[in-house]
Each structure stands twice: as C-alpha cells, then as structure tokens.
Amino acid sequence: RQGRIWPYFSKRDRSKYVSAKDVLSAFDEKGKFSGTIDLKRIQGKLALLGTSATGLLDIKTVPTERFIPGVEVHAQLIESVLTNQFLNRPEFVDAAEMAIALLTGLIMIVLVPWVGARWALVFFLTVSIGSGAASWFLYTEQRMIVDAAYGVTAVLIIYVTLTYMGYASEEAQRRQTRDAFSKYLSPAMVEQVVEDPTLLTLGGSTRDMTLLFCDVRGFTSISELFDAEGLTVLINKLLTPLTDIILAKNGTIDKYMGDCIMAFWNAPMDDPKHAEDGCRSALEMVAAMAPLNARLEQEAKDEGRKHLDLKVGLGLNSGDAVVGNMGTAQRMDYSVLGDTVNTAARLEGQSKSYGTDIVIGPSTYQQVQEFAIIELDNIQVKGKTVGLQIYALMGDEEVAKDPAFIAVKEAVSEMIREYRNQAWDKARELADKVRAAAEAAADTKVGPVLAVKAAASDRFKLDVLCDLYESRIRQYEADPPPADWDGVFIATTK
C-alpha cells in the first residue's frame, strides 16, 4: 500500500536457527563435511547470515517481541513476500478508528458529569483493555492493522481534562465557601462546611436557634474621645476578643453594626446545646471587658488622654428562625430572619433598662435552668402584643449553687411576687432585702467568682432593678392598675 510493505511478524521460531558454531564444526581441517549437521535443514532453503550478540548492535524490536536479531526481521520480511501473507489495513479502518474515538469521547463527556470520575475511570479502563484486545485479535487472526490508540487517547484526554476541570471547579467552590464563611465561623466549622456543602441551604431553612445581640453602653460618649482612625482601632480591639469567644463556642457571626455584634448558634452546623453555648459566650464576653478595660486604661494613661470603661449589654433569645443565603444575585449574605431575631434585639435593649448585663428570653431560660438566672419581669417589648417573661443571666452552674446567689435569687423572686400581688409595701421592703443580699454576695468568698463568671463586676448590679420596681410601686400607689392587671409591663423603648 502506497509503496510500503507491512510484514506480518510472528513469534520467533528458534528451530529455524542454525548456530554458526555448528556449521563451522561440521567440516574438518581439510574442508570435508563431517556429517555433524543435518543438511536437510538447509537444503533448498534461503539462508541468511546474521548475529545475535547484543554487543554487535543488531538487536531489533518488533510488535510481537521486544528483542530479536536484526536478521530475523529480514527473514520474516522474505517469508511474508514468499507466502504473500502481508498485514492489511482496509480503507474503512481510518474512518472506523475516528468514529470509535468520537463515540467513546462523547460517551466520556456524558459520563463524567453524570456518574463522576470513578465510574468514568472504569469506562476508560474498559475501553483501553477492550480496544487493545480487539486490535491484537485482528492482528494475530486476521493480519489486520487497527490502531487502538485513537480511541484510548481520545478517552484519556477527555477524562483527564474533565476530571481536572471538575477538580478545579470543586476547589474553586471550596475556596469561595472558605473565604465567605471564614468571616462568620471558626476555622474548624469552616472546614466542616467545606467538606459538606449540604449544610448550607440556599434560600433559607427554618431551624431552632439561639440569637445574641451585643451592644456597647454609652458608646457615643466614648466615641467623642477619639478621631475616626482612633475610633476604628478601638472598635477592632473590642470586637476581636468578643468575636473569638463566639467562634470558640460554635457560634456564627451574622454581622457587625458599628459597635454591635449579631451572632447565632445551630447554623450552619448542628449544635444541640446552642442555648448553652450562647449563654456561656455571653458570660465570657462580659468577663472579657475587665482585662480589656485595664489595657485600654493603661494606653490612655500613656497617651495622656481620658479613659471611659467599655461596658456591654447583651440579649439572647431562642426559637425558630429562617437562616440561609439571603440577598440578591449581586450580593448575598448568610443571615437569619424571624421574630426570634427581633425579640433578641429587644432583649438587648432592655438590659440597660433593668441594669443587668445579660437578658435572656423564656425559651433560652428553659434550656439553661441550671445556670445562675433570676427573673426580671413580664414585659411586653416594643413591637409585640403579648407579655414575655424575661430573665437576667448572672453566671454559670457554679455560681447557681452558691448560697450567696441563691439568697439573691429568692429575694428577687419574693419582691416580684408581692409586686404582682399589688402588695406595694411588702414589695418595697423586699427591694431593700434584694439590695442587702446583693451586697452580701459581693462581700462573700464567691465575690471574685461572680466578678468573672457572673454578669457583675463589684456586685450583682441590682440597684437599677430595685429602683425600677420602687418607681413603678410609687406610680401604682398614686394611680392603681386596672382590676384585670396581669403584672405585664408595656415597654415604650427598644
């Protein structure tokens, strides 16, 4: 074909070889044949002289064997001419090879996205082995040349390309997820989300969650002590330790609003003890103010400027909320919405009104009753139409077991009970008892523990609460509540 000869190479038949040593030793010194070689093996045959020693550099490679003497190539070529047994390659083979390459390539393109790289690899191996076997069968049995490399190469290139594209796309998605959530989650939680993207529900899903709002008290007065750059530095010094506490307790940062932090628990990662983690975070955030203020005070002293302590108020509420990626096609944020969120924000505002650092809602209270908690009021927060039982989170389980705290808790409960019974004089007397119990708690050996683990610095800070109830008592003494009064206080401020 086209002036070329395609010899059909078969396995080397060593019986056709005659050693040069045998030929030379078959004749004596006078050149007379000694009869040590069977002349019939060479009589009437074409004999080719060659070498088989590796050092003589006449070793060749053919499709059937890796190493054969070069003379064997000539011998098999002559044999092909004499027997007219050449390899053939019909005209249709070129088209068939291209069709096979195209078909297998298209199948691979469909397989990779649908069944993944693993099953696509199985298909590639099947095509490779099948094509090789078919090519070898046609070569040995039909003396036909069919190149299996076309289909195998096409499938290999497409498999490698699509697998790499899939890997690159997955890595890009992982990187995008990691970059997006590193601002909201701890590194460990980010990696869990990256490994299992199903944890993120696009469009939002309803979950039982705990919400936290944290705001700095009197920040306007503090901000007047700094220029814009200095205020930015101060905000960063404040938000960094508070954020670290939240992330360490499996929380998610929703957003920063100036000096305010909004965070939540139980999304995107499941957190069965989300209320507990939220409350522990709140307690640690309050406790973190003491060392931070000490450092800021020293910095102010070194710079010769005035210092005002940073104080935070927090509100926590638990309940159903919608969480997920929200926004537009141009910008999306992982955030949370719902009445539970709004109530948590209102509770944070009430922490100032009641003079306590941390106010929690009833659902949160039900999940952390082992903590040091006192009842504050039954209040109708702004924007709500029904009363809401609110509580002050004062400390953890250790504080809750201390007799000093128990005395304070009982005194507050008695004061509120007599207040709701409209026993104004008794309630007023109990307010004094609350103050005395709080003072006693601050003076006991548990005082330093309360200063760190409870929402208090030098004392329980219940003066504001007592003053608030005494003010209401005076108002009701002058203007008694209606007969159907249920003790609910209607808040007029957020």
**What is this structure's pTM?**
0.67
Report yes or no on 331 lying in a domain: yes
Residues 340 and 357 in one domain: yes
Would you give per-residue pLDDT tens digits along the chain (494 residues)? 555 667 767 777 777 777 877 777 777 676 676 666 777 777 778 888 888 877 777 888 877 777 888 888 888 788 877 777 777 777 788 888 888 888 888 888 887 778 777 888 888 888 888 888 988 888 777 778 888 887 788 888 888 888 888 778 777 777 776 776 666 666 766 776 667 666 555 567 899 999 999 999 989 899 999 999 999 999 999 999 999 999 999 999 999 998 999 999 998 888 999 999 999 999 999 999 999 999 999 999 999 999 999 999 999 999 999 998 777 766 777 889 999 999 999 999 999 999 999 999 999 999 999 999 999 999 998 777 788 999 999 999 999 999 989 999 999 999 999 999 999 999 999 999 999 998 888 765 444 344 333 334 444 678 999 999 999 999 999 999 999 998 999 887 76
Q: Identify the CA nearest to 436 among candidates 402, 463, 475, 470.
A: 463
Q: 281 with 299, same domain?
A: yes
- Non-local CB neighbours of 66 within 8 Å, separated by 6+ positions: none
Q: Which of 141, 161, 179 is the last residue of a domain?
A: 179
Sign of the dihedral through C-alpha 289, 455, 253, 212? negative
Number of domains in the chain: 3
Burial of 178 (0-12, 13-18, 19+ CB in 10 A): middle
- Is the same domain home to 74 and 99? no
Final residue in a domain of this structure, among 32, 65, 83: 83
Range of the domain at 123: 92-179
Q: Is residue 432 part of a domain?
A: yes
Within a domain: residue 200? no
User: Would you state the structure tokens that stand for residue 174, as one six-digit string?
Assistant: 């992982």
Q: Across the strands, what pairs with 344?
A: none
Q: Are residues 322 and 438 in the same domain?
A: yes
Q: Do 257 and 402 belong together in one domain?
A: yes
Same domain flag for 63 and 98: no
CATH code, domain with 242: 3.30.70.1230
- Tell whether 108 and 236 lie within a shared domain: no
Domain co-membership, 162 together with 263: no
Neighbours of 46 (CB within 10 A): 9
Assess whether the previous peptide bond of 268 is cis (omega < 30° from 0): yes
Copy the structure tokens of residue 401: 């077991």
How far, in Å, CA of 416 to CA of 410, rounded?
10
Q: Are residues 58 and 97 in the same domain?
A: no
The residue type at 117? A
Q: Are residues 22 and 58 in the same domain?
A: yes
Question: Is there a domain that residue 338 lies in?
Answer: yes
Claim to verify: residue 226 and residue 145 sit in the same structural domain: no
Decide which of 161, 179, 197 is a domain's last residue: 179
